[in-house]
Structures are given as structure tokens and as C-alpha cells.
Structure 1
Amino acid sequence: MRISVCMGVYNGEKYIKEQLESIRLQTRQPDEVILCDDRSTDTTCQVVDEYLTEHSELTGWSFLHNEKNLGYPENFYYVMDCCTGDIVFLADQDDIWDKHKIERMCEMLDEHEDVKVLACTFGLIDSEAKEIHSMMAPTEGKKRGDFHEVSIRQVFYKCEWPGMVLAYRNAWYQRKKEKSSIPHDFKICAQAAEKHGFWQLEEVLAYHRRHEHNTGGEEHRIHKLLNKKRKLKEISDYRTILDAFEREQVMRTEDGLLALKQKQKSMKGRQEALLSGKITSVLKNAWRYRGEVRGVTVVCDLLIVKQKDGDRYEIK
């Protein structure tokens, strides 16, 4: 089994070396690592070139440069197409991996041939790579080591599997690939899930970096959650992605089409409820789509509509 790692790169000078180091020190070495710079305007290219020069033993590593800025997600789709391994791992420039990530995930893929896309879980780190225990960290309540299927409904319900936690079978992906405006990680999770091929290993094997990690940073993130204009923009962007799923005919099964349609309806209702500014509208939408909306989402929306324009909730 040949292993590829791919990374889309753009203006990542500050942390990319740490990510490269975490890949280099894996207990199971990848056969191929491909990085593709999307016309960075900082010193990212210099940092990567110096790293590869320093570690000349990394003969399977290559650094590509786009002639023009492709943008996200096109740059990631391009570098994914360049991979020749049987299993492809997606990497993000700011994050770091546990040294056993490739080994553990490949073990699971070896044992379970029906799994097309595999996810691990992730922790949070600050700018100094120290682990954060945050009230905003993703939690699922499952036991470490659990291995379970992720349904297509869950993918649209949560949409919380960033590329850094994913590995996929390249032969499966090559049959599925086509030009798309949908974020690469979201799309492959959905495609695999509707055919019961998306599974999750409950082990923290990657760490997502948050650049604002102190109490003030935590408050800042909460204030962003309660900012009405920002929230409406996020909902609008998400609806655009859902519409792209429909336009590109990504879902091919009855379950997939139903999950997509339900999510489109619930997000439209949520947007309309926030725009109305009425608590009753938020509650009615939450009840109507109670299987599609998380409790924490409803609480945030209620707090948003309760605010007067310009108000901010203070963290006590």
C-alpha cells in the first residue's frame, strides 16, 4: 500500500514548518508528499525550500507552484489529482499531526476494505503548539478507540470533518472526481457517506491550531458566534455550498438526496428566522427541523435575535 500526503499551500510561513516536521516524523513514512503553493505573497516558498534542502533525504517529497492563483478549493483539488498513492492523506499548513497518525489510520483501512474515507478526531492547540481545553472544542462523547460509520445525514448535520483528519482510497476518488466548487473535504465525506463508506476512528491523531488561544481569544470566538451579520453571512455561504451539491448532482442515492433537501430547507428556515428578528420564529424553525439543528445552534440564534443592534454579550 503506497501512501500519499497532499497539502494546498498559501501564505503559511508562520506554522508550515511545524506541520512538515510532524509529517516527516511519522512512525509510518509516506511514499509521496506533494505540496502545491497557490502564489503565496509571503515567505512560504522560501520556508518550504529551505526545509526540503535541510532534509535532502526526503526524496519522495515535491513542491509544486501554480502559475496563477487558483483559490480554494481548486488548489486542493489539483494537488489531490497529482497523488499516485493507494491511500491519500490531506494536510493543512497550520496544523500538526500525532506521530502515529498515518500508521493508525492505515491499520484501520487495511482491516476494513469497505471504508472509502476515514476520519480521526482532532484536538486544539495554540500558536505555541500547546494543547487547548476549550469550551468550543468539538466533542462527541464516544470512547477512545471506537470505530463507527458516519451517515450522510450526520455529514450535512454537522459538517465538521476538516481535511486534516481525513484519508481516502485514491482508486475510489479517481472514479468520483470532477470539477467542483464544493470544498474538497466536505464533498468526499458526503460522497463516501451516502454509500456507507465514511467511517470515523475515535482517536485524536491531529491538532488544529487556533491563533487566539487565551481567555480573550475564547471570548472573541463567542462574540463572533453571536454577531448577526457574520452569522447570516455564514448561513448564506453554507446555502451556496448546498446549492452546489444540488447543481453538480453530487448526491446519487435516495438517502443522499433526502439529506441534502432537508438541510437546504432547514438552513433556509434558519436564515429567515434570524432575519425576522423574532424569538418565536427561531423556536418554530428549531421545532420544525429538530432533527437537523443542534441545540447549541438554537441557543446562539435565540441570543442573536434577543440582542438589540450593536449590543454584545459579555462573558461573565
Structure 2
Amino acid sequence: MNLTSTVIIASYNGEKYLHAQLQSIYEQKTPVTKVLISDDGSSDNTEKVARDFIYQHHLSDSWDFQVNAKRLGWRENFIHMLAHADTDIVFYCDQDDLWYANKVSESMQIFASHPNAELLVSDFDYLPARQNLLTMFAIDESNDQNLTRVSATLANLITLRPGCAMAVRKTIIPTILNIFHEIPIDGNGLPQTHDQPTWLAALLRQSLYHIKKALFVRRAHADSAWQLEKRANSGHFAAIPSENDHFPLFIKSVQEYLNHHSLSYPKLANELLTEIETRVLRSEA
């Protein structure tokens, strides 16, 4: 059986880059089943760009653009779309990146050949190539293979690939939603995002896979929603994510979550809890 797929895009004032992103999705070697664009009340021409693209390419049967009845914010916007996704695989997508033509085909091939994979994260290139706004952090991995399963270690608890690098299997969606609502902050101590619960859910379920290959281009520009938020909360970030002052608060939240749900993760709960408790005690000493 062929796997079905949905791309979910949370748009907001994205007219400058959205057309190029949609074009890169449209030109995939393996077409996606659906594209869902949920706009959060843009004040620019985002709606026109999206609707014109869908109309001009005769995509109305499989691509959909909707404007939220009320502002949700990008976090809730992604979560709302994820909760209503009904295909086998869901790709998170930012409005301002560019996908390489093989992103979908290579991802779907991995999901098809690895039925236990529930989250696939990839590497990425930058546009412009030389930039100082974005970082691709190292993942704690035990081998140098091109495709690896990421282990549930303390070093890997922080989200080490952003949502735009993620594709998820629908079987993990209930766990993602549960973590989103039960763990209120991300690894930076900010309100919970969509990608941190996704990363954490797959890590705990031992179903997180990393392909060491750039499958898309991440656009670096100072007016992105994430860059604006980082500047507004500069004290929440550090050069090494796990060493920021707010990381212990996140660790405690994960600790509480595991204490309540340890029966769901019997293979790793005790080991990871011991490591977490050591880290929490050390941070409080």
C-alpha cells in the first residue's frame, strides 16, 4: 500500500517567500497527497499568493487554503492542523523555505522501509549560504551511518532539528498532542511549540530517525517569526541549547511527564529518569 502524505503550512504575512516555497513543493519528484495552508489573519497579500497558486496549477482538489476565524499564533496553528491531519505521513513546512525535489521521495521511502520510524528529521542547507542567524546543532549519535535512530539521552532531549526538518507518521500524533498539553514549555523555557513535543514523543517512543542529508534549504532572514521571537526573548537562548538557564525547568517538566507515563516507556524510563534526576540535582546544587 502506498503511503499518503500531507504538508501543513502555518502562514502569516508570508507573501515575500510563499510562492517560491509552494513551487518547490509542487515540483517534488513524488507528489504529496495534500497541502494544507492555514493562515493566521495575514495583513499582506499572502492569501492572494496562495489562492492564485492553487488556481493557476489546478490544485483545488488536493491543496487547500483557509484563514483562521481568530488568531491562533504559529504554535497553535501548527498543532490544530496536526490534530486534523488524516494521511499516513505529515510534513511540517515553514512558509519561507525551499524544498529540494527529492525531499518527499526520500522521506517516504524511509518511512516505507522502516515501519517503526515515526519521526524523520533531516539536515538542511542555508540561504544565503553564509549566514549567522541559524544553527544546525549536533545530535548525539552512536554511529556515522547516513540514517540513524536517535537514542533517548539527556543530550538529545532538546530539539536538535527544527519543525521544518520534520516528517511524522500519524501513529505518533496522539502522543505529540498529549505532550504539547502536558509539558508547558520548550527547551528554551518559552511556551511549548509544535516541534519540541514531536521530537520528544519520538525520542521517548524510540522511533526518531535522522537522515544525514540536506533535503531542503532553510532561509535565514531577520524578520522571520522565529528570529523576532528570539530577539524579544534573548535571555532564553544560549550558544549550547542544553546550557541555557531555562533548560532545567524543561528537564523538570519532562521528569514529571515521565513519572506520570513511565509505564508507556518501560524500556527507557528508569535510565532516562536517573539521568534527568542527576542533571536536576546538579543544577540545583
Q: TM-score, normalised by structure 1?
A: 0.68
Work out whether residues 97 and 206 of structure 1, in 8 Å CA contact, stay in contact via their aligned partners in 2.
yes
Q: 1:170 — aligned with what?
A: 170
Counterpart in the other structure of 2:200: 190
1:14-33 matches, within 5 Å, as 14-33=16-35
- Residue 207 of structure 1: CA displacement? 1.3
Please tell me the residue identity of whatever aligns with 1:233. Answer: H
The answer to whether the aligner puts 1:95 opposite 2:93 as a matched pair is no
Higher mean C-alpha deviation, range 254-263 or range 57-66: 254-263
Alpha-carbon contact 1:117-1:167 (below 8 Å) kept: yes
Unaligned runs of 5+ in 2: 185-191, 238-243
Q: Aligned partners of 2:279 and 2:9: how far apart in 1? A: 30
State the secondary structure of the residue aligned to 2:69. Answer: coil
Q: Which runs of 5+ in 1 are unaligned?
A: 213-220, 270-287, 289-316
Identify which of 73, 76, 85 aligns with 2:75.
73
Q: Note the alpha carbon deviations across 1:78-97, whole angstroms, 9 max, x for none.
A: 01122111011110111111
Aligned residues: 251
**Distance in 2 of aligned mates of 1:190 and 1:26:** 29
Match of 1:2 in 2: 4
Off by >4 Å, runs of 4+ in structure 1: 133-137, 139-145, 235-251, 258-266
Counterpart in 1 of 2:217?
A: 207
Query: Would the aligned equivalents of 1:194 and 1:251 in 2 still touch at CA under 8 Å?
Result: no
Aligned to 1:151: 151
Q: Structure 2: how far apart are the matches of 1:257 and 1:12?
A: 42
Paired residue secondary structure (2:91): strand
Task: Determine if the alignment matches structure 1 residue 132 to structure 2 residue 148.
Answer: no
Deviations 1:6-45 (A, max 9, x none): 1111221211111111111100101111111112222211
Counterpart position of 1:273:
none
Larger radius of gyration: 1
Q: Indicate the RMSD between aligned Cα atoms, in angstroms.
A: 3.3
Task: Give the percent of matched residue pairs that are identical in Structure 1 and Structure 2.
Answer: 22
- Partners of 2:74 and 2:279 in 1: how far apart? 23
Distance in structure 1 (CA, Å) of the matches to 2:170 and 2:115: 13
Output the CA distance in 1 between the equivalents of 2:48 and 2:107. 31
| Equivalent residue number for residue 233 of structure 1 | 236
Q: Label 1:262 to 1:188 Cα distance change in 2 as closer, same or farther (>3 A).
A: farther
After superposition, give the CA deviation of every residue in 1:63-91 in whole Å (9 maximum; x if it has no partner). 12211111131110001122111011110
Whole-angstrom distance in 1 between the partners of 2:104 and 2:116: 18
Alpha carbons of structure 1 residues 42 and 144: separation in structure 2 relative to 1, 3 Å: farther
Q: CA deviation at 1:205?
A: 0.1
Against the structure 1 CA distance between its residues 242 and 84, is the aligned structure 2 distance closer, same or farther, given a 3 Å change threshold? Answer: same
Where 2:107 maps in the other structure, the secondary structure is helix
1:104 matched residue in structure 2:
106
Q: CA deviation at 1:51?
A: 1.5
Distance verdict in 2 for CA 1:60–1:134, change over 3 Å: same
Contact 2:134-2:220 within 8 A present in 1 as well: no
> Matches of 1:160 and 1:202 in 2, distance apart?
13
SS of 1:168's equivalent in the other structure is strand
Conserved in 1, the CA contact under 8 Å of 2:176 and 2:197? no
Q: Distance in 2 between matches of 1:41 and 1:148?
A: 42
Q: Secondary structure at the match of 2:211?
A: strand
Cα 1:145/1:9, change in 2 over 3 Å: farther
Cα separation, 2, equivalents of 1:32 and 1:196: 28
